[in-house]
Amino acid sequence: MARLRDNRTRILVTGGAGFIGSHLIDRLLKRGNEVLCVDNLFTGSKRNIDHLTTHPRFEFMRHDVTSPLYVEVDEIYNLACPASPVHYQHDPVQTTKTSVYGAINILGLAKRLKCKVFQASTSEVYGDPAIHPQPETYWGNVNPIGPRSCYNEAKRCAETLFFDYHRQHGLEIKVARIFNTFGPRMHPADGRVVSNFIVQALRGDPITIFGDGSQTRSFCYVDDVVDGLIRLMDTGPDVIGPFNIGNPQEFSITGLAGMITRMIGSESKIAYRDLPQDDPRRRQPDISLARSLIEWEPTVSLETGLHKTIDYFRDRLLDVAPRMR
């Protein structure tokens, strides 16, 4: 990306064609930045960034972060990695490479450019937590050899690399542990509970619940998450993280299914399936640090966010339904 003649900030977003990444790019462009979106389109989609193709401050580069990247930017957001179990378990070795090699390559780039760099970590670093809610000081309860470990452990390793680059090279880093996020542009076949329930309810198919449905999650609308990431990135060099970014309100999976079917007016019935191995029973962030140090907390209610997400999937249903069969 060629440097501009003015002082506009040039920002690299890896994984920028993904669900959260594309919303982040929208917000960065509205702030007047120039954005280079890098994505290999394994789980990201051109559909998510089609509206930006003619934007004068947007550029797309198809690239896999497991290979070095040579660009000139002022800030980096690293969001590159498949984030849903369906996708990250499809090629677990590549998932680990994306998080670990990707972190090494992005950190090397940031070191050369002497720029601040953000790492999108995950609540999955806590595994199936024995402490509830989960504070950033909790080290987690993670199975290192299970089917989810390609994602959990790779993200934990990426955090290690970020903090070691900070300690060893003085690199300015920012790390956020993102909890369950939902909203428009979710992949309709990503296997996540919100997208699954909405698509199934809209089609009148059975609502698939794994386990007995008593397990809980905390759902944060994507606009709130993006706000948290930007607030963190805007802080000074002494504010590093990790920070939990998520909604501290806890909902059962059964309760979520009931809410979605009522909002849609669906007559879908519940179909129970066996709980996958290592699936966490409870997940809820303690966001005390985010509230105090970056003055962030979510403002969009679950119901408001679901209305927007349902509208999105309703508009897409005719297109996605044949591919969901």
- 279 located within any domain: no
Question: Which two structure tokens, joined as six digits, stand for 107?
Answer: 């950190």
pLDDT one-digit tens code per residue, 93-121: 999 999 999 999 999 999 999 999 999 99
138: in domain: yes
User: Per the domain annotation, does 53 fall within a domain?
Assistant: yes
CATH code where residue 134 lies = 3.40.50.720
The region that residue 226 occupies, defined by phi over 0 for left and psi between -120 and 50 for alpha, beta otherwise, is: alpha
Distance CA 50, CA 58 (A): 11
The confidence score (pLDDT) of residue 84 equals: 64
The first and second tokens of residue 164, run together, are 């070691």
Distances (CA, A) of 132 to 214, 242, 319: 15, 17, 40
Q: What is the pLDDT of residue 325?
A: 36
How far is it, in rounded angstroms, from Cα 135 to Cα 286?
Answer: 5
Is residue 314, in this structure, part of any structural domain at all?
no
Question: What does the pLDDT average to over 282-300?
Answer: 96
Q: Does the residue 158 lie in any domain? A: yes
Q: Which residues are identified as catalytic?
A: 151
What percent of the chain has pLDDT above 90?
Answer: 79
pLDDT tens figures, 236-245: 999 999 999 9
Residue 151 and residue 122 in contact, taking contact as beta carbons nearer than 8 Å: yes
- Residue 299 structure tokens: 């403002």
3 state SS of 51: helix
| Res. 194: pLDDT tops 60 | yes
Report how many domains make up the chain: 1
- Three-state DSSP state, 254: helix
Q: What is the pLDDT of residues 87-97, one digit of tens each?
A: 777 789 999 99
The reported pLDDT for the residue numbered 281 is: 81
| pLDDT at 90 (0 to 100) | 78
Q: What is the mean pLDDT of the chain?
A: 92
pLDDT tens digits for 312-323?
999 987 564 444
Q: What is the pLDDT of residue 321?
A: 46
Q: What confidence score (pLDDT) does residue 7 get? A: 62
Percent of the chain topping pLDDT 70:
94
Looking at the chain, the number of H-run helices and the number of E-run strands are 9, 13
Question: Does 209 map to a domain?
Answer: no
pLDDT in tens, 131-189: 999 999 999 999 999 888 888 999 999 999 999 999 999 999 999 999 999 999 998 88
- What distances in angstroms separate CA 3 from CA 59, 62, 168, one per listed residue? 13, 20, 29
pLDDT in tens, 31-83: 999 999 999 998 899 999 999 999 999 999 999 999 999 999 999 999 998 77
Residue 189 resides in a domain: no
139 lies in some domain: yes
Domain with 159, as residue range(s), is: 10-182+222-245
Task: Tell me the whole-structure pTM to 2 decimals.
Answer: 0.92
